[in-house]
Amino acid sequence: MMTKLPKEVAEYFPYSTVRPFQDEFIKTVFSAVENRCSVLIEGSNGLGKTISALSACLPTTIENDLKILYVARTHRQHDRVIEELKAICKKTPVSGISLRGRHEMCLNEFASRRTFDAKSLMEVCEMLKAKDRCPFYTNMEENTEDFLQVQQQITSHPCKASEIQKICRKKALCPYELIKASLSEFKVIALSYLYVFDPVIRTSFLKNLDTDFQKVILVVDEAHNLPDTAIEIASSGLSLFVLKQAEFEARKIENSSIASFAKLLRNELETIAASIDKETIIPPETLIDIIKKQGDITKPRDFFEHMHEVGSFIKRSLLAEGKTPRSYIHGMSEFMLKWLETLGDESFINIASTYMSREKTPTAKLEIVALDPSKITAPVFSSAYASVVMSGTLQPLEAYARITKLPENTVKHIAPSPFPKEHVLSVVCLGVTTAMEKRIPTMYQTIIKRVNEVVQNTHGNTGIFAASFGVLNALIAEGLAEALEKPLFRERRGMSSKANERMVSEFKAQAERGGAVFLGVQGGRTSEGVDFPGNQMNSVIIVGVPYAEPTPRVKAQIEYYEKCFPRLGREYGYILPAMKKASQAAGRPIRTLEDRGAIVFLDYRFATNYCRSFLPSWISKGLKILPDQDDVLAQEIQGFFKR
């Protein structure tokens, strides 16, 4: 079967056989990259996208002395890249590393035990180095032999960040500085989106990489997340808490003008918050006019720049005292400068919003919300040697390419699913929906009845992903837990990642103890970031279409896309994000070629041609539409698992 691969790729592909359609995926990527074109490619779980992308890109990488930057969201995905590189190295040596942030790598107790944001930690690190208060950094300079020996060790074969940290702990060397000094030696680097797509971080990173971005092949994994990530990078927020702290900080240094400004802005935000439900759009000029008139600030930009200088001075002073270099005045000034910079730019909106703090008290914030992800993604895609943009849920490809502004000559391809058809059951039940006007007790009772039909006929675990926490809570209120005969594990709003991981682990363990039920939300961390192979989730139930609440920002996003892409605004800004969430949740039980999984959509809207067109083809092709009758679903599930 290896003859299916181009001979250049065969030198790197480490396995004796290819999976169904994996060769097609590899050839598409190899051909595009070889011709210096980007490729937008959808491939379902189980296809082996990681090893396919690596082996397809390496021939061009080596031949043209390039580097591969493989971006993904989680440390687990980064480490997976290194695991595949280690397999490749059994055939052909290739260096590689999974990169983690300074906070995860730091061995210095003073820095690592404190909670710093990335920028503050960098400043603390610089202070510790300058004052010779970091033995791990000092050892790198003094024990040159150890440093060079470890550097040779980590650059001679693929290494995970955790492996480098372990080596450095034994040698008392700084793992972060060691990696930074060695970056130029690696051919493949697995890292988070921010290193590549955040303009400030990218500039710093490329200096350490010692190469131009035109010498980089970029691989974007789980690329369906990229538009939202780009929006987050380009957006900013300023909370009441920061304004209160900035005022306190200004009074402490006896700067009455900054203290008065912080108080004015806080009072204005509190007044707005008292008159709104959740959020409202603010004309940006209005706030500047208030600052000019009520704050008696004739030149806002000059004043904000002055605040920025004061904040920078405070941070430097704290550093010199060995304290955390945090200045709320500095944060406030950066936000206000961005407020001015985005004035008149229709790809941004300005919002005041209310929310619950971690302490469960009502509070508010000002936001600068980006509407155009391509402002972040286009500069990256246009400057890379080539980009491989891949995920299991990218359709329609043309929409994705437009939203992110991929180059015009980008190759677009959908790889067929490798799953045997008999391993997947996908059904839609008529007669149920979470459409707003239908959210009544009798509807939820019917949904619970259908859920029970699935749970009772699934031999292992069942996952339920609701359209929102509102729907999830309504199911609980209508007696879901009492109706089930298996243990229920429930995701909660605001749950910490550690608590969620613990709960998911306990749920998975129930697979061999008679099974359990997991209840979460579509678009949540579990519905997109956790795999459930084997019996860890045999059936998955999608309750409702997760359309966003029609808030001012959602409406603004639709309107912005409508201006950019006439007649497609609602599809791009409202329909597609919802269907991506549903598709991601639906794919949780089908992770390997051996898995068998039932996917049940409890909302008649998934049966419409319009919604079906946005589902991955491996789900939509065999989609069965079931009538609104009791026990029909139960028979389908029972028959599927018996086969």
Residues 26 and 90 in one domain: yes
**Can you give the residue range of the structural domain that contains 158?**
101-116+132-183
109 sits in which H/E element? helix 109-112
Residue 585 · residue 410 · CB < 8 Å = no
The pLDDT value given to residue 78? 93
Residues 444 and 467 in one domain: yes
Q: Is the peptide bond before 6 cis (omega within 30 degrees of 0)?
A: no
Q: Is residue 376 part of a domain?
A: no
Residues 532 and 448 in one domain: yes
Residues 301 and 400 in one domain: no
Residue 472 · residue 528 · CB < 8 Å = no
The pLDDT value given to residue 2? 47
CATH for 212? 3.40.50.300
Q: What is the pTM of this model?
A: 0.91
Q: Is residue 525 part of a domain?
A: yes
Q: How many CB atoms lie within 10 A of CB 200?
A: 10
Q: Is residue 227 part of a domain?
A: no
Beta carbons within 8 Å of 245's beta carbon, 6+ residues apart: 328
Residues 138 and 56 in one domain: no
Residues 199 and 287 in one domain: no
Following DSSP, what letter does each residue of 355-420 receive, concatenated?
EE-TTS-EEEEEEEEE--THHHHHHHHHHSSEEEEEES---SHHHHHHHHT--TT-EEEEPPP-S-
Residues 528 and 630 in one domain: yes
Residues 586 and 609 in one domain: yes
Q: Is residue 378 part of a domain?
A: no
Number of separate domains in the chain: 4
Ramachandran quadrant class, 238 (left: phi over 0; alpha: psi -120 to 50; beta: rest)? beta
Strands 348-356 and 279-281: antiparallel
Q: Is residue 228 part of a domain?
A: no
Q: Is residue 109 part of a domain?
A: yes
Residues 211 and 253 in one domain: no
Q: For residue 532, give the nearest of 555, 549, 554, 515 by alpha carbon.
A: 515
The pLDDT value given to residue 228? 95
pLDDT beneath 70, residues of the chain: 1-3, 112-119
Residue 127 · residue 319 · CB < 8 Å = yes
State the DSSP code for 549.
P
Residue 591 · residue 531 · CB < 8 Å = yes
CATH for 336? 1.10.275.40
Strand partners of residue 488: 517
- Domain termination residue (choose one: 124, 156, 183): 183
Q: Say how far apart CA 130 and CA 170 lie, in whole Å.
A: 24
- Per residue in 496-520, pLDDT (tens digit) is 888 999 999 999 999 989 999 999 9
Q: Is residue 379 part of a domain?
A: no
The pLDDT value given to residue 116? 58
Q: Is residue 124 part of a domain?
A: no
Gyration radius of the chain over CA positions: 26
Residues 452 and 580 in one domain: yes
Residues 445 and 586 in one domain: yes
Q: Which tokens sit at 170?
A: 């034994």
Residues 151 and 254 in one domain: no
